Chains A and B, each alone.
Chain A
Amino acid sequence: MTELSDELLVAYVDGQLARKQTHAVEKVLEQDDVIARRVKALQDAHSRLEAAFETILAGEELVVAKPEHAGLFVPWAAAVKIGLAGVGLAASLMMMIAGYGWPLSLPDFARSFSDLNDPGYTGSIAPSWRETAARAQGLLSRESLEVGLESQSNLDLIAVQLGQAVGPGLKLPNLDRDGYRFVRAQLLRSGEERLAQLLYLGTSGAPLALYGMKSGASEAPSFKRYGEIGSVAWSEDGISYLLAGEAEEPALMQLAARIRSGPQTAGSEGAKADSPTPPPLPVGGAKP
């Protein structure tokens, strides 16, 4: 009987041997039943392990393919847009305060990764309110509650506070002339980045929101609709913006153009001088 080590036989089964060695082993196999049985057992072990690993992979591929929830790494614009698209801006903002935990399963992660390029909105599956709320919750940070924007009536002061947090180029436009009065601002987050949110109310309907986050690139305005929510995204002066609300494309594009052409902070220019609007509401809708 020939003695061949398991090292050699495993290497043979795994196809790691040189051709000459392979032929030598095969020659032994033809003549030695014991070695042949050993090789067969090793081959069986090999194929069972491969099959077992394939089974796990197939299961994980199925799980990852299920687009059920929101994700971990949603870029801020996508998170804002998707969050707003579900049940509308007003409900989303209300639910942001509710404090639901963030869904953290792997499919969530996969889904959110795929959101990075902001694929077209299909709206085929309406998210539940919990899902929408949970997505919106991801925008909140401690700073959302800890950073005091106490003087919400003073746009200049808010500009200083948000400018320090987000970036000096951040615009805080006055949209009174367009029929939207400034109501309040707050600091949100997108991952580790700070995200400013300015909220406006028209004479009726849902709020209008302007989001701003630090960015390095300039980008021309582009419109995109997410269900009921229309949005215009652009970047300028180191800040990336998203204007979102239940409005039509021409109206939002016009607002975006006005914001782009306007001064950095419109508080002193418009809000106090010619504002016909009532005093803004406090942060979170209630005074501490």
Chain B
Amino acid sequence: MEAEEFHDSIRPGLIAMLPRLKRFADLLVGERTEATALLRRALHFMLAEQHRYLQGRALDGWAFAEIYRQWLAELGHHADPMGQAKVDEARFAELFGDDGDALTTGFLASLPAQQRLTLLLIYAEKFDYVEAGRVLDISADTIATRLVRTSAIFADRLGATAQPQGSADITALFPQGGRGSS
């Protein structure tokens, strides 16, 4: 009965955050159907292995990390992991329904899954760099680097759209071409 009680202790939390977990899986996989399947498998694992959850750690961070770990493990078993990790832009855009702007969805679709998740964890989930790093099993510095790189690239694209001629001044800010190269 103890195990059952403990089991029940994480279920309500997982229920409450299901939409957030699904969003995480959506952005990881790049489309809804596979994301649902991934989330289902991950949740099965979480419930079966709930003893791995350490009291005191934020449940959302733990759950995100488990989904990511599940995805990585499955990717590793695939014959063409790189091919599997690519997303179909049209199906990715479906995640946003009719409300997504093409520039943003196209940009997100072009990013590697780990970078999409970095943006999600920091900008939407409001995680700090350390906790986001724990989810993706990387350092806080790497999180910061990814964040700067992707933000800068996206800002460049937005700037290019707004000002087709570009700006020599902006280029001059990065004489070594450091932006976007880390």
A55 interface neighbour in B96, B156, B162, Cβ under 8 Å: B96
Interface set, chain A 48-95, CB cutoff 8 A to B: 48-57, 59-61, 63-64, 72-73
- The complex places the Cα of A110 from the Cα of B26 at a distance, in Å, of 16
A109 at the interface (CB under 8 A from B): yes
B112 proximal to A (CB < 8 A): no
Task: Indicate if B80 sits at the interface (CB-CB under 8 A).
Answer: no
Residue B43 is within 8 A (CB to CB) of chain A in the complex: yes
Tell me the residues in window 1-20 of chain A with beta carbons closer than 8 Å to chain B beta carbons. Answer: 1, 3-7, 10, 13-14
User: Is A23 in the interface zone, CB < 8 Å from B?
Assistant: no
Pairwise interchain contact A10-B147, C-beta atoms closer than 8 A:
yes
B148 close to A (CB within 8 Å): yes
Which of B10-18, B52-60, B62-70, B131-139 is found at the contact surface with chain A? B10-18
Known: A7-B144, A10-B148, A52-B108. Is A42-B155 also a contact (CB below 8 A)? yes
Take A10-B147, A42-B152, A216-B4 as given contacts and tell me if A53 and B19 are in contact as well, using a CB distance cutoff of 8 Å.
Answer: no
Please report whether the interface of chain A is mostly helix, strand, loop or mixed according to DSSP.
helix
Of the listed stretches A33-41, A139-147, A149-157, A269-277, chain B binds A33-41
Q: Are B158 and A64 in contact (CB under 8 A)?
A: no
Specify which chain A residues have a CB less than 8 angstroms from the CB of B20 in the assembled complex.
57, 60
Do residues A52 and B18 form an inter-chain contact, with CB atoms below 8 A?
no
Question: Is B40 in the interface zone, CB < 8 Å from A?
Answer: yes
From A34, A46, A104, B40 is in contact (CB under 8 Å) with A104
> Which residues of the other chain, B, contact A110 by a CB distance below 8 angstroms?
15, 18
Please state if B159 and A57 are interface contacts (CB–CB under 8 Å).
no
B100 near A10 with CB under 8 A, answer: no
* Interface pair B159/A41, CB less than 8 Å apart: yes
* Residues of chain B lying within 8 A (CB to CB) of residue A178: none
Q: Are A55 and B100 in contact (CB under 8 A)?
A: yes
Of B71-79, B81-89, B164-172, the stretch lying at the interface with chain A is B164-172
How many residues on the A side are at the interface (Cβ–Cβ under 8 A)?
46
Among A3, A7, A54, A116, the residue within 8 A (CB) of B11 is: A116
Give the complex CA separation of A110 and B16 in angstroms. 9
Asked whether, in the complex, the Cβ of B8 is within 8 Å of the Cβ of A116, the reply is yes
Interchain pairs with CB closer than 8 A, number: 135
Name which residue of chain A comes closest to B121, CB basis.
A53
Contacts of B113 in A (CB 8 A): none
Question: Which B residues lie within 8 Å of A34 (CB)?
Answer: 167, 169-170, 172-173
Instruction: Verify B123–A50 contact, CB threshold 8 A.
Output: yes
- On chain B, the residues within 8 Å of A10 by CB distance are 147-148, 151-152
Residue of B nearest to A110 (CB): B18
* Interface flag for B49 (CB, 8 Å): no
Among residues of B, the one whose C-beta sits closest to the C-beta of A2 is B173
Residues of B at the A interface (CB closer than 8 Å) are 1, 4, 8, 11, 14-15, 18-20, 22-23, 26-27, 36-37, 39-40, 43-44, 47, 95-97, 99-101, 103-105, 108, 119-120, 122-124, 144, 147-148, 151-152, 154-156, 158-159, 162, 167, 169-170, 172-174, 178-179
Give the 10 A-B CB pairs with smallest separation, nearest first.
A216-B1, A53-B124, A41-B155, A34-B169, A60-B19, A45-B154, A113-B15, A60-B22, A61-B19, A45-B155
Given contacts A10-B152, A34-B170, A38-B170, 12 further A-B contacts (CB under 8 A): A7-B144, A10-B148, A41-B159, A41-B162, A48-B103, A51-B104, A52-B100, A53-B23, A60-B20, A104-B40, A106-B36, A114-B15
